[in-house]
Amino acid sequence: MTSLLDPGTLTGAPPDGEGDTGGRTVDVLEPATGKTLATVAVADAAAVARAVAGAARAQPGWACTAAAERAAVLRRAAAALREHRAEVAEWLVREGGAVPAKAEAEIADAVEELFQASALPTQPHGQVLPAEPGRSSVARRLPLGVVGVISPWNVPLLLALRSVAPALALGNAVVLKPDVRTPVSGGLVVARVFAAAGLPPGVLRVVPGDAEAGRALTADPAVAMVSFTGSTAVGREVGEVAGRGLKRVSLELGGNNPLIVLDDADLDSAVAAGAFASFLHQGQICMAAGRHIVHASVAREYTRLLTERARRLTTGNPWTDPVDLGPVIDAGQLERVHRIVADSVAAGAGLACGGEPDGPFYPATVLSGVTRTMPAFTEEIFGPVAPVVVVRDDEEAVAVANDTSYGLSAAVRTGSLERGLRLADRLAAGMIHVNDQTVNHQAVVPFGGFGGSGNGSRHGAQFGWDSYTRWQWITARGTASAGRRE
């Protein structure tokens, strides 16, 4: 089997489908060691403009390609990703700092996104509408044209493909700008599995780049839609620029997600769920549990058990050692996490465990006695930190959970399903899980949040129709009409 991502092919003039660069490169660093893994060409604004223009030229032909062939390309891309699973997993571990289990799960989810998208082209594309005799009236869905996708570093492969796959399946061309910290696993992998699948040249262009490239892609008049996944602050800028161009925009943004533990919950299972939700991938997931909201009668025991579990979690290089937590993505993010922890402790929170960085690693950290004014409550931490907030009853739990500008995910742990569902009805979040935890994903669900977590757009399966197509109404008569008769 040939290599999908030989580092020697990542430098210099990229293959077709990977855009062009404007002559600039960036070193891809391994967060755990600082080692340079590869040197990748990155795009400036002019290169993005050329990529968009090329995608616009290729899109009409792709839209006219038979639906069965478009579906087959998606299935072949899934097969290529499976074939190169071990190689892609290595890049997810070394480039993004994932532990192997997270990398394997991400690849499996990405394959499922491709298969779900492959079902879209052969589904009905429209509706026959009521009309008077002698007249036909049809509404049909058409591709938008060129879709710009700006994807993040934390789950780089999956969060690129959940937009790229349905957009391509429905006849659009795509220009993908992965985060410059994960340009291989979040961009070049995507380009190469689609090249292996036989996607026609130019239909997908990958342009790794920084903020300059992102602004250029968002503002380009030939881009009909922008799908952005990232921070709320940057999402607001993307939405503003896209709005001036009257573009469609999908914003999948941050979260400060509550995990509510009621007084009748099984604490052992609640702690297991809470630890997973806060510490998976070093807490660098938009759905991570950012606030553990616990009834007062069980808060002391819950905190004790959570602290014991957190202390058992190991940190280190996930490529060389069997660790539970890998590195934080870069020094800037590490400093931010530590600042939130230190400021919260200074404001009166208890440091139950963790709280001190070790090189690029941050240990699983539990904060007790967190109040609604502390940074660990008000900010999205995006690090392996579990703030515990104590509440008196269900009423206060709901009020505390909803005390945020975000509204992505929430979870409730309880011994009573009926009680959990009653609380779920009152939580302001796009996704709510009773007796589970906040980090859940499936390719078939309407994934998205409220408020500062996004603009209500949805990813997943049939919901791609609403995101990546537009309606057109067509009527026809057998003979010319003289005009409307009142």
413-424 pLDDT per residue, tens: 999 999 999 999
CA distances from 317 to 35, 77, 314, 359 (A): 12, 30, 10, 11
pLDDT for residue 20: 57
What does DSSP say about strands 289-295 and 385-391: parallel, antiparallel, or unpaired? parallel
SS3 assignment, position 135: strand
Who's near 80: CB < 8 A, 6+ residues apart?
Answer: 4, 192, 193, 196, 197
Q: Which of 18, 286, 353, 380 is catalytic?
A: 286
SS3 assignment, position 259: strand
- Which residues is 291 bridged to in the sheet? 258
Contact at 8 Å (CB) between 187 and 17?
no
Is 286 labeled as catalytic in the residue annotation?
Answer: yes
Between the CA atoms of 103, 99, 18 and 82, what dihedral angle is there, to the nearest 10 degrees?
-30
Tokens matching residue 166: 């349905």
Its sign, for the CA torsion 149, 155, 156, 161, is negative
- Which residues is 426 bridged to in the sheet? none
Helix ranges (H only) for 200-295 are 211-219, 232-244, 267-279
Please state, in angstroms and rounded to a whole number, the distance separating the CA atoms of residues 401 and 82: 40
What is the Cα 169 distance to its own chain's centre?
A: 19
Name which of 308, 317, 389, 294 is nearest 354 in CA terms: 308
154-167 pLDDT per residue, tens: 999 999 999 999 99
24 pLDDT band, cuts 50/70/90, is confident
Please state, in angstroms and rounded to a whole number, the distance separating the CA atoms of residues 374 and 356: 18
Q: Which residues of 168-202 are buried (b: 16+ CB within 10 A; e: fewer)?
A: bbbbbbbbbbbbbbbbbbbbbbbbbbbbbbebbeb
- Which of 24-27's residues contact partners 24+ apart within 8 Å by CB, and which partners? 26/180, 26/183, 26/208
Per-residue pLDDT for 358 more than 80?
A: yes
pLDDT for residue 320: 98
306-347 pLDDT per residue, tens: 999 999 999 999 999 999 999 999 999 999 999 999 999 999
CATH no., domain 257-434: 3.40.309.10
Q: Sheet harboring 135-143: ordered strands across?
A: 126-128, 135-143, 469-477
Strands (E), 383-435: 385-391, 406-407, 409-413, 431-434
CA distances from 197 to 71, 143, 170 (A): 11, 21, 16
The percent of residues above 90 in pLDDT, for the chain, comes to: 88
**What is residue 209's DSSP assignment?**
B
For residues 364-370, average pLDDT: 98
| One-letter identity of residue 478 | G
pLDDT for residue 13: 38
Where in the sequence of the chain do the CATH 3.40.309.10 domains occur? 257-434
Where in the sequence of the chain do the CATH 3.40.605.10 domains occur? 7-253+454-473
Report the Cα–Cα distance between both ends of the chain, in Å, rounded.
70
180-211 pLDDT per residue, tens: 999 999 999 999 999 999 999 999 999 999 99
438-467 pLDDT per residue, tens: 999 887 788 889 999 998 666 766 788 999
Q: Which of 252, 353, 379, 486 is catalytic?
A: 252
486 pLDDT band, cuts 50/70/90, is very low
Per-residue pLDDT for 9 more than 90?
A: no
62-113 pLDDT per residue, tens: 999 999 999 999 999 999 999 999 999 999 999 999 999 999 999 999 999 9
Please state, in angstroms and rounded to a whole number, the distance separating the CA atoms of residues 294 and 303: 9
CA atoms within 13 A on the CB side of 9: 12
The percent of residues above 70 in pLDDT, for the chain, comes to: 94
430 pLDDT band, cuts 50/70/90, is very high
Per-residue pLDDT for 10 more than 80?
A: no
pLDDT for residue 53: 97
**Topology of the domain covering 7-253+454-473:** Aldehyde Dehydrogenase; Chain A, domain 1 (3.40.605)
